[in-house]
Amino acid sequence: MSASDKPYITEEDGVMKVRTCAWSPPGDHPVGCGLILHVKDNRLVKVEGDPDNPVTNGRVCVRCLALDEILYNDKRLLSPMKRNRADRGKDSWTKISWDEAYDLLEAKIREIWDKWGAETIFTLTGTGRESTLYAPVYGPAVCNTCNGASTYAFSGEACYGPRATITNYLLGAGVPEIDWAQYWEDRYDHPGYQVPKYIIVWGKDPLYSSPDGFFGHSIIDLMKRGSKIITIDPRLTWLGAHAEYHLQLRPGTDAAVGMGLLNVIISENLYDHDFVERWTYGFDELAEAVKEWTPEKVQKVSWVDPEALVGAARAFATNAPSTATWGVALDQSKASTQAAQCFLALCAICGYIDVPGGVTITKPTSFIGQWRYDMSDTISDEMAAKHIVDLDGKYALFNSGAAMGGVQGDTLLNWLEGKWADRPEYYKLRMCWIIGTNPLACMADQPQRWYEAMKDLDFIVAQDLFMTPTIMGLADLVLPLSTFAEHEGLVTPNYGRNQHFIGAMNEAVHNPNTKSDLEILIDMGKRMRPELWEGMDTPDKFFDAKLKENYGYGLDEVKAVPAKMSGYEYRKYEKGLLREDGKPGFETSTGRIELWSPVLAAFGEQPLPYYEEPEFSHISKPELAEEYPLYYTTGGRHISMFHSEDRQEDLTLRRLHPWPLVTISPHVAQKYGIEQGDWVEITSPQGTMTQKANITEEVNDKFIHVEHAWWYPEQDPEAPNLYGVWKSNANNLIPHESVSVTGYGAPYKNGICKIRKVSGLDHD
Ligand SMILES: Nc1nc2c(c(=O)[nH]1)N[C@H]1C(S)=C(S)[C@@H](COP(=O)(O)OP(=O)(O)OC[C@H]3O[C@@H](n4cnc5c(=O)[nH]c(N)nc54)[C@H](O)[C@@H]3O)O[C@H]1N2
Ligand SMILES: Nc1nc2c(c(=O)[nH]1)N[C@H]1C(S)=C(S)[C@@H](COP(=O)(O)OP(=O)(O)OC[C@H]3O[C@@H](n4cnc5c(=O)[nH]c(N)nc54)[C@H](O)[C@@H]3O)O[C@H]1N2
Ligand code: SF4
Ligand SMILES: [Mo]
């Protein structure tokens, strides 16, 4: 590689400085932070933020700064490896070449096609890493199966899917986000841009999570420019501590709080009449539905202080423009649909949608997303008809096809366990391709059940940077991945559903031993379904063709700048820019924002928001209240870890956060005789696990917070231990199928538990 013909490379004293936009692997969401990678003799020697990047302005966090420790870690996978099926769970791998690996994989897929049919192959994927763009294509366009697309070992698809789907139906748009001037090259100075006066931060902790393309620093930027904060969160986060109003709710009661806020705004006549009249559908019915949610009733159900609720509602509604952002906590309860309805209704009735300083929205398509859907259409109708659904008829909305097209997670576990084995429509699954997920450590509810159920499959292949408990426990073939510093890619924030720029991910270090998700997809696609892959020999050619098809410019134009900005048009609904037919309004069945949802009604869900008590609480299960006196929530993000990654002992990232922490209030700790750093066993009606005590007032005396995604790479890799993956696993606590009729939302962040001090991680 030379600097001369590449505008993104400069050279100084034998060190190449390669400008890039970060994504994954190692793990991250598509924030696309601008980086300069310093490379000497094909070795990454330093990472710094790119000051010329208009979105991230040179700021960078510890995970990217420590990238070299991942690249050169001695535990990193650097060769494909295979293992006999009989040896699953044993650390007895044989290194093979890429050609041998591809030959083996091709032979297995063909054998399964011939013996059992392509539908018996399924793919599993995980959260929004780069693989999100490509993993859904492996099923249809390599394996020719109907059981691919976005399929997760995830109860209620409890991340992003619920919010994205409800927004699709109610707004006909991609996922809304705060207007942080992210669409403009001149950012906050852009003529016409306004700083939001209040920002509701609902079930999200973006300073630590920078999720889905939202850059956490931007909240601080806005606060410096005068924005005030309202948090809706059981924990007192940093943002909560700096908020004007902190609504400290009981985990899982978001819909009650949402309806309470709506009720204050409607009953005090604080909403935007003009917007409501012209652009919303079902306002009167909504007003009627929320009427009973007085601040006192909200407090009874959710613990939220009535004064804070009323103050927050007034401040939000009467200070235009204000805005709101929602996090994964809204997806991680059975009532995710109702919480999402409230969130969207609040933004809508206050007139904050698609206005400067409000929330940005775009059409729900991305250029790679569209290609994904097109590739999914390449399977035959006969194959599509075999797509796995709940055979008792549950989850109609999920299975309507307008969703992400995958297999619903709870349905998949039931199917793997043979729940419907005596039904004529049933067939046994035979093969799984794992692309960007480590379900046993992180995603799967009741992980031991998933482990037992998947053990029965005939063949499992996975690709990753490191060995994981899932791969050690289950896989027969593993393919080593390249990091984002080692391959070409594109970053599309928000997966294209609110895409403020496109960023070029540039290869800085050449690694001949590893490949990217897209390279593996193209290589295997050409072997298995060559007719779909003509002319797409390399990622570069693929990106260039797709960009030209969709935007009229090619890859070179993206690589030439730190970020190819999208630009933005406000009030698109007035200009006919949101609907396919070019008429004003929203791309919904009524052309308006549906506060009363015909789609939900059609799929057996109530059309208006309502409150349903979480399945496991002291109210719904009073008989369990004495045995499980505390509530829990889970999974708040830590800056130095991305889900189950970054646990290898020699990483700075692990040293920054060496153990899984259960956060307990000082009062509760005292009551149970627990001191800082003690090991604590946490037990729910579903299961048990152990973490280390962290005593702070971030939580109150009624609930604790536990971390998720823990395993111990330093421990015995072999089954049954599998790197200690069962020991501190938050998902032992999570019930299976505690999901609403839509098929979306599961209680990963709310439940009841008991705690006790124990002698260590391994205890009686
Ligand atoms: N109790 C509880 N459980 C939770 C949560 C919670 O809050 N509480 N959060 C949930 C949420 S929101 C999510 S999204 C899930 C996430 O769950 P998963 O998506 O399964 O996340 P990981 O366990 O980190 O597994 C991802 C694997 O992919 C690899 N990887 C990283 N980047 C790439 C890439 O670009 N391509 C490929 N092929 N592989 C890559 C990583 O090395 C890692 O081994 O966890 C969920 N689990
Ligand atoms: N560093 C790092 N960044 C990440 C990840 C990571 O693992 N590490 N994971 C990525 C993924 S997949 C996702 S989905 C995003 C998630 O990022 P966020 O959406 O920010 O989600 P969390 O940090 O899990 O939780 C947000 C907040 O919800 C609160 N909360 C818990 N229960 C409830 C509840 O019932 N109601 C309400 N209103 N709030 C509740 C928690 O206390 C927490 O402060 O982060 C992404 N970014
Ligand atoms: S948020 Fe942090 S880990 Fe993610 S791309 Fe930006 S600097 Fe890297
Ligand atoms: Mo997520």
In this structure, are 303 and 331 located in the same domain?
yes
CA of 31 from ligand 3 middle (Å) equals: 7
pLDDT at 349 over 50: yes
Ligand 2, atom 28: closest residue by C-alpha: 203
- Beta pairing partners, 689: 682
CB 628 within 8 A of CB 704: no
In this structure, are 229 and 331 located in the same domain?
yes
For residue 216, give the nearest of 60, 49, 48 by alpha carbon. Answer: 60
- Total tally of structural domains belonging to the chain: 3
Instruction: Please give the model's pTM, rounded to 2 decimal places.
Output: 0.98
Residue to mutate, 61, 130, 209, ligand 2, most ligand atoms under 8 Å from C-beta: 209
- What tens digit of pLDDT does each residue of 358-371 get? 999 998 877 787 88
CB 32 within 8 A of CB 21: yes
Atom of ligand 1 nearest to the CA of 733: 1
Q: Residue 177: which pLDDT band, with cuts at 50, 70 and 90?
A: very high
What single-letter amino acid sits at 558?
V
Atom of ligand 2 nearest to the CA of 639: 1
pLDDT at 74 over 90: yes
What are the pocket residues of ligand 2 if the criterion is a CB atom closer than 6 Å to any ligand atom?
A: 29, 127, 159, 202-206, 208-211, 232-235, 237, 249, 251-252, 254, 327-329, 333, 633, 635-639, 641-643, 749-750
From the CA of 232, the nearest ligand is: 2
Say yes or no: CB of residue 63 within 6 Å of ligand 3.
yes
Atom of ligand 3 nearest to the CA of 63: 3
435: in domain? yes
Which residue, 485, 507, 533, sits at the end of a domain?
Answer: 533
- What tens digit of pLDDT does each residue of 132-154 get? 999 999 999 999 999 998 999 99
Q: pLDDT value at position 52?
A: 97
> And the tokens for 615?
């399945």
CB neighbours of residue 577 within 10 Å = 14
Atom of ligand 3 nearest to the CA of 56: 6
43: in domain? no
Q: Residue 1: which pLDDT band, with cuts at 50, 70 and 90?
A: very low
246: in domain? yes
In this structure, are 126 and 262 located in the same domain?
no
Show the domain range for 527. 81-155+365-471+516-533
In this structure, are 356 and 369 located in the same domain?
no
Ligand 1, atom 27: closest residue by C-alpha: 437
In this structure, are 317 and 455 located in the same domain?
no
> And the tokens for 720?
């049954």
- What tens digit of pLDDT does each residue of 242-273 get? 999 999 999 999 999 999 999 999 999 999 99
**Secondary structure E strands in 154-279:** 177-178, 198-202, 228-232, 245-247
Sheet of strand 459-464, all strands in order from the earlier edge strand to the far edge: 94-95, 81-82, 477-480, 459-464, 431-435, 121-125
Q: What is the DSSP secondary structure assignment for residue 352, as one 8-state letter? A: -
- Beta pairing partners, 198: 228
CA of 217 from ligand 3 middle (Å) equals: 11
Q: pLDDT value at position 4?
A: 56
In this structure, are 230 and 337 located in the same domain?
yes
Q: Residue 741: which pLDDT band, with cuts at 50, 70 and 90?
A: very high
Ligand 1, atom 47: closest residue by C-alpha: 443
In this structure, are 352 and 370 located in the same domain?
no
Could you tell me which residues come within 8 angstroms of residue 519 by beta carbon, excluding any fewer than 6 positions away? 482, 487, 538, 539
- What tens digit of pLDDT does each residue of 479-527 get? 999 999 999 999 999 999 999 999 999 999 999 999 999 999 999 999 9
pLDDT at 403 over 90: no
In this structure, are 249 and 369 located in the same domain?
no
Ligand 1, atom 39: closest residue by C-alpha: 436
Atom of ligand 2 nearest to the CA of 206: 20
pLDDT at 401 over 70: no
Q: pLDDT value at position 41?
A: 97
In this structure, are 143 and 275 located in the same domain?
no
Q: How far apart are CA 48 and CA 692, in angstroms?
A: 34
Mean of per-residue pLDDT scores for the chain: 96
Say yes or no: CB of residue 339 within 6 Å of ligand 3.
no
Q: What is the 3-state secondary structure (H, E, C) of 526-539?
A: HHHCHHHCCCCCCH
CB 122 within 8 A of CB 461: no
- What tens digit of pLDDT does each residue of 190-200 get? 999 999 999 99
Say yes or no: CB of residue 210 within 6 Å of ligand 3.
yes
